[in-house]
Structure 1
Amino acid sequence: MKELKEIRDDQIRILGEGGSKNPLPRSVWIIILSILGIALVGVILLFVTRQKEEEIQELKAPEPALFEPVREAEPILHEWIGHQPDSLAPGYTEIRDTLINDIPIRIFIPHNAELTLHIGRMNKEDKSIIYAAQAADVRADNGGIVGAFVLNGEPKAWGLSKKGYCASINGKVTIGVAENTSLFEEATMNNGYFFRQYPLVKDGQVIDNEPKGKSIRRAICDRQGEIFMVETGTTESFHDFAQALADLGVDQAVYIVGSSAYGWAVDEAGTTHEFGEDNYYTGRRRMPKNTSYVVWRRR
């Protein structure tokens, strides 16, 4: 009882604890409770403030009206390799040189021209031609064309030995890889052109081919909708050539005859750039009658 009487008015005794010898003064407890109360109020105010800020941001955001068009992000346009001349300018071939994987590459980009096919010896004096290169291979046994071939709507061959194809129908060029395609029939019905060759690139991926030797390589390619032809400056394997095309960003590519096969391109200034051997078929060498060409003509 004496201990109870010794408690001052500003002290609190907690019962059941065996009698604490150093009880906290009442003023200290008041301070602690006040701090906790202030902290709780601060947390509540912070939460309410954030809620109001989010509501304000939502109100500031534009809402699409029922009869007003919604502006969407414009698609990023791909950059083509060649430039885009006036559509009324005379057709020509833009020639670009580059180096891919240490392989010198020459790119032939036709402008204001249309792709056709031709069978037989070419007339180099034909001023409508801006690019010509041998297209399909010729069979060694009977001299026929290797793979399906359509010339101005007329089927000339029906083979399926090669999965790569190139079609030109109503001015549109399509390059791809498939065992079966309706483009053969479409070319037949619409006075179009179609041929098959070794596939090199499909959807940006390299396709390997059986021939393993090295030679000057050529191809016709589709890169983001831009159609062009390519020739190596050095002898290359099919694989290394296809890999260079894929690294160039080509989406689809099929082979056209390389090595010493003759062809030419006419640039904007009217200068003719020849490749291959012009006099290859001379003397005892006779050009097979079914030798075919990719021919770009001025529109």
Structure 2
Amino acid sequence: MTYNDDDIQFLGGEGFKPSQPTDKQQPASRRWWKGLVLLVILVLSATTFYFWQKAMNRTLAFDYPLSRTSTEVIRDLEKMPTDTLQGVTMKVDSLYGVGMRLYELHGLTPTLSRTAPSDSDSTVCLVTHGWDFYWDENHQYKYIGDFIYQGKEYASNHNKAGFVIIAGDKWQIGIGQDDSIKEYVKAHNGSMFRQFALVSAGQICERQFALKGKVTRCALARKAGSTAIWYVETIHNESLYDFAQALADYGFTDAIYLTGGNNGNTFYRTPTGSSCGVADWKEYADNLLIFKKQ
């Protein structure tokens, strides 16, 4: 028998395409396993989403008593009396080994600033750090938590239950997570930021304590029945728990955290105009809370 080139074909050569099984050709058992795997993936995804949502709800929930409703905070802000005494008085005290410097703020209004005030500005009576922030991957400044400046909202999140609100020459600290406070501030071209609640209605808010370790601590605090607001800082490094416990036992009804610590020799101006401490805010002016005479 003789052959020519046209009679011989090589399997696997150029142009060779082995037949592919179609879905209809796949065994029934294989299709069944694919369906089972898909079902398991869907169930796991749904379960993960369910528990993630529950975890988020637990994070957002503030399960502590409130000394005032949002309506009452706004009422107290609008009725905040004018203090003819303008400046800061300071005293040192301690409780359970937690040393504190307590600054009572008389007739002052805070402003939010990312620029350090002038050393020659005689209206400045105390400067501290306020809100939390971060720089993103594009080196853009980002606020953490609700942040409003002169009526414009720059960030929205109420995980941190404490807040400072400013409207005109009046201001208040408060605790709560509903949005009525934020809407009031925007409607009145005011300013606002949020921070961790340390004490609410005399009870320490341990589940708000996201920061660990011991460093110098700062807070704004108020007592029930008083229009005065205090700036309080620790003398030594303290945990948030010990600081909050000292504030509550000292008689403060509400207290909110302020970031940044202190230098141990905080600048303040007395009602008589005397300057005390050291003004060291120029190198860290990204989140300043500046208290000025009205």
Instruction: Determine if the TM-score, normalized by the shorter chain, exceeds 0.5.
Output: yes
Matched residues in 2 for 1:198 and 1:276: separation?
26
CA–CA distance in 2 between the matches of 1:218 and 1:236? 10
1:201 paired with 2:199, answer yes
Indicate which of 110, 113, 117 corresponds to 1:118. Answer: 113
Taking the TM superposition and a 5 Å limit, the aligned residue runs for 1:1-299 are 87-89=83-85, 91-141=86-136, 142-208=140-206, 209-224=209-224, 225=226, 226-260=228-262, 264-274=267-277, 278=281, 281=283, 287=284, 291-299=286-294
Distance (Å, rounded) in 2 between the aligned partners of 1:125 and 1:195: 27
For 1:167 and 1:253, locate their aligned partners in 2 and report how far apart those are by CA, in whole Å. 14
CA distance in 2, matches of 1:107, 1:122: 23
In the alignment, the residues of structure 1 paired with residue 253 and residue 293 of structure 2 have an alpha-carbon distance, to the nearest angstrom, of: 25
Structure of greater Rg: 1
One-letter amino acid of the counterpart of residue 93, structure 2: T
* 8 A contact 1:215–1:258 mirrored in 2: no
Greater helix share, structure number = 2
2: distance between equivalents of 1:153 and 1:278? 26
Q: Distance in 2 between matches of 1:297 and 1:276?
A: 14
Cα contact 1:259–1:276 (8 A) shared by 2: no
1:146-203 Cα deviation digits (max 9, x unpaired): 1111222222322333221111224443322222231111111112221101110000
Q: Does the 8 A contact of 2:220 with 2:256 survive in 1?
A: yes
Mark the CA change 1:271 to 1:254 in structure 2 (over 3 Å): closer, same or farther: same
Deviations, residues 99-139 of structure 1 (Å, cap 9, x unaligned):
11111111111112223322333333221111111100122
Q: Which has the higher contact order (CA 8 A, sep 6+)?
A: 2
Kindly provide the CA deviation profile for residues 191-249 of structure 1, in whole angstroms up to 9, marking residues without a partner as x. Answer: 22211011100000001112221110000111123211100000000100000100111
- Residue type at the aligned position of 1:104: G
Counterpart-to-counterpart distance in 2, 1:229 and 1:153? 25
CA contact (8 A) 1:260 1:277 kept: no
Q: Which runs of 5+ in 1 are unaligned?
A: 1-85, 282-286
Decide whether aligned partners of structure 1 residues 206 and 155 sit closer, same or farther in structure 2, where only a CA change above 3 A counts.
same
Contact 1:263 1:276 in 2 (8 A): yes
The separation in 2 between residues aligned to 1:223 and 1:166, in whole angstroms, is: 15
Structure 1 segments (4+ residues) deviating >6 Å: none
Give the structure-1-normalised TM-score: 0.62
Quick one: distance in 2 between partners of 1:159 and 1:124? 34
Native 8 Å contact 2:148 2:186 kept in 1: yes
SS of aligned partner of 1:234: coil
TM-score by length of structure 2 reads: 0.63
Amino acid at match of 1:96: K
Distance in structure 1 (CA, Å) of the matches to 2:112 and 2:266:
13
The alignment of Structure 1 onto Structure 2 pairs a total of residues equal to 205
Equivalent-residue separation in structure 2 for 1:103 and 1:294 (angstroms): 24
